[in-house]
Structure 1
Amino acid sequence: MSSEHMQIGEVAARTGLSLRTIRHYEETGLVTPSARSQGGFRLYTETDVARLMVVRRMKPLGFTLDQMRDLLDATDRLDADGKLPAAEREALLERIRGYERDAAEQVEKLRVQLARAEDFAATLRARLSPAPGSTP
């Protein structure tokens, strides 16, 4: 096994994903190990890890597996061949722009939720702290 390949345990440690989740993403076709060892162990490359990180970042924003697959397909096609016809290249970039807009919208929604959660926690803290002049 060369040093550029990692087994699933190392990939899990680097990505913060469970072995089960990584296997699930393989089963759904999102990320396929680049190779297998002679013993049949999955072997991953830095590119595979980068793909898993894209998926990991998309999941909390509510993107579906199909959307993740679509974005990865678009980026793969852009990265694979610099000689794409201009119209196809622009269409792929527009797909990616759509995901960027959706991600930005989800981030803003999460900011609102976080602000509400922080306000709620502050309200509870204030309720639990003793009033000035009172004895605990």
Structure 2
Amino acid sequence: MGGEHMQIGEVAARTELSLRTIRHYEETGLVMPSARSQGGFRLYTEGDVARLMVIRRMKPLGFTLDEMRDLLTATDRLDSGEDLSAADRRQLVDRVRHFAQLTQQRVIDLRTQLARAEEFAATLAERLPGPAAS
């Protein structure tokens, strides 16, 4: 992907991730800057931002760094234009499908947790005395 390069501060603002978090994802190999400036600053593309958004969306669903890496590797290979055998393509699609299923289950689980939390909050609110009469 070509186009404009962004420095890490702009990427952080666009992804709502901290500089520290973006650097951590770089250290773990989840995302790499597409280039470096002459001064050594990290430079990122829209593709790098999209990759960070995938990571950001996976994190609250409890996916591990290894699981994130696994999904990103599968999607990278599928999107690369690489000449894949039918068996390799099927395996990669199955991998992505597996993550889609895990994601759906985790969303259901989170909705259940949210409903329970809302019920609890309502129960507590009911127990509070009304406004004091003056």
- How would you bin the TM-score normalised by the shorter chain? over 0.9
What 5-or-longer segments of structure 1 have no aligned partner? none
Aligned to 1:74: 74
- Identity across aligned pairs (percent)? 70
Moved more, 10-19 or 82-91: 82-91
Q: TM-score, normalised on structure 2? A: 0.93
- Displacement of 1:87: 1.2
Judge which range, 121-130 or 69-78, deviates more.
121-130
Which runs of no fewer than 5 residues in structure 2 stay unpaired?
none
Report the equivalent of 2:116: 116
Indicate the residue corresponding to 1:102 in structure 2: 102
Corresponding residue for residue 85 of structure 1:
85
- 2:4 aligns with 4
SS in 2 for 1:126: helix
Secondary structure in structure 1 of the residue aligned to 2:118: helix
- Structure 1 position 126, deviation (Å): 1.4
Q: Which moved more, 1:81-90 or 1:61-70?
A: 81-90
Residue 42 of structure 2 is matched in structure 1 by 42
Q: Report SS of the residue matched to 1:130.
A: coil
SS in 1 for 2:123: helix
CA distance in 2, matches of 1:108, 1:82: 35
Distance (Å, rounded) in 2 between the aligned partners of 1:36 and 1:81: 25
- Cα deviation, residue 45, structure 1: 0.2
CA separation in 1, counterparts of 2:100 and 2:51? 16
Aligned-pair RMSD on alpha carbons? 1.8
